[in-house]
Amino acid sequence: MNTQSCLPETFWPYSLKAVVVVFIFCVVVGGIQAATIFVPQEYSTIQQAIDMAQAGDVVLVAAGEYDLDSGENFPIIMKNGVHLKSAKGPSETEIDAEESASVFWFKDVDETCILEGFSITGGYGAYPYGGAITCDHASPRIRGNVISDNETLHYGGGIFISNSSPLIDSNTISSNYADANGGGIEVRYDSSPIIRDNRILNNETGFGDGGGIKIWIQRNAAVPIVENNIIAGNTANDKGGALFVYNKNGETHVRNNLILDNVALGADANYECRGPGGGIYTESSYVIIINNTIGFNYAESPIPEAVVAAGIGCYGISETLEPQIFNNIIVSNVGGYGVLVQEASLPTLAYNNNWNNSMGAYLGCGVGVGDISENPYMDFHTTYHYVLKKYSGSIDAGDPQVHDGIPWPYYYQNTDRSDMGAYGGPGGAVWLN
């Protein structure tokens, strides 16, 4: 075959020069566009650095404490396309608003705006601000932070999400307080966040719902996702110790979470017929609750004759579809039933292990297809808590049409049929990898 070029010999040197010049130009311009700005070496405050940054820049913050004394004004206002990152991580880099205001404000930004690697504390918000972070018509990524000891007079002690769809992943959100709702996180209006791989611990509401998370979406067809989190030790003064969901026209996915040791106190006496839901409370919502471990939660009501949901409480009719409750372990919840269904809610239950709840397994609904009631035999490992022991009857007992995401060790005698609980189903691979 003739491989000789049909182009004149003089073409190649000039074309190569042009390519080299263009390449160098792109590298130089690209370098300018994607600069790293150092705090406090170049700018003394984080806000100054963000204000000077361009889309694609990284603002890299040195270890230290950033507060009013260091010159910060709060809230810090984020900018689209800017990646705000600590150099040493949250253990060495703290941003403290000292109860002067909320700590961060995200407004009209997209997923190119990233907040990563800080201890965020001392936030104090009044509506429309959350305690630590507010997302308003924004879809940033908030990852790898420790968000603790913040407070709001209204919604979202840790994070308030309003008309926004952020990715909230790999954070510790702990010991925050909302006087109203959403001790850890509040999701409102047209919001479809992904809340993934977080530790949502020991948050509290003053008089409202959702000790860990509250989702309240009344009109829009939003699709929030809550997956692979540890939601533990939270307290709602009313309903939904770990999670409260009201998503009338959309759908909410709750999957592969450990929901443990949460408390719902059912303080609103106007709702005496509604069990408060120590673990999860859903109201008039299409919620897909699949492959969670919901255990050791507590619920009560100030009304002596009230019936109580200690594990999952479902109330009311959805505008779309009814709740789907599959492949969960609902175990040893105290003060009420494992699953309580009221006021015409018609959830579909199947392949759950509903065992040892203080008032019984079910009220207001029947046993689902494939449901069992037996000790799930869970174990503690250094990294993973409540993993099924190899002789557990919850192994290979989930929906046969659903498969586990990874192979188990040979000694588990575990097929690819989904297991019950947080480590089963396709989402279990996220935990165990």
pTM exceeds 0.85? yes
**Distance (Å, whole) CA 209 – CA 239:** 5
Lowest-confidence segment of 56-60, 153-157, 367-371, 378-382 by average pLDDT: 378-382
Its sign, for the CA torsion 406, 387, 417, 332, is negative
pLDDT at 305: 78
- Where residue 177 falls among pLDDT bands split at 50, 70, 90? very high
Mean pLDDT score across all residues of the chain: 89
**Distance (Å, whole) CA 130 – CA 60:** 25
Residue 110's CB is within 10 A of a number of other CB atoms, namely 14
Residue 203 has pLDDT above 60, yes or no: yes
pLDDT in tens, 260-296: 999 999 877 555 455 689 999 999 999 999 999 999 9
Average pLDDT of span 199-227: 95
**Residue ranges covered by each domain of the chain:** 29-432
Q: Which of the pair, 360 or 3, is modelled with greater confidence?
A: 360
Residue 27 has pLDDT above 60, yes or no: no
Domain 29-432 matching CATH 2.160.20.10: the answer reads yes
Mention every residue, 6+ apart, whose C-beta is less than 8 A from residue 71.
44, 45
pLDDT at 61: 98
pLDDT at 383: 73
CA 279, chain centre distance (Å): 15
Phi, psi of 396 (to 5 degrees): 55, 30
Average pLDDT of span 297-305: 88
Query: Are the beta carbons of 420 and 394 closer than 8 angstroms?
Result: yes
pLDDT at 188: 96
**Distance (Å, whole) CA 393 – CA 15:** 70
The radius of gyration computed from the CA coordinates of the chain, to the nearest angstrom, equals 25
Lowest-confidence segment of 155-159, 233-237, 323-327, 414-418 by average pLDDT: 414-418
Residue 7 has pLDDT above 50, yes or no: no
Its sign, for the CA torsion 212, 295, 266, 351, is positive
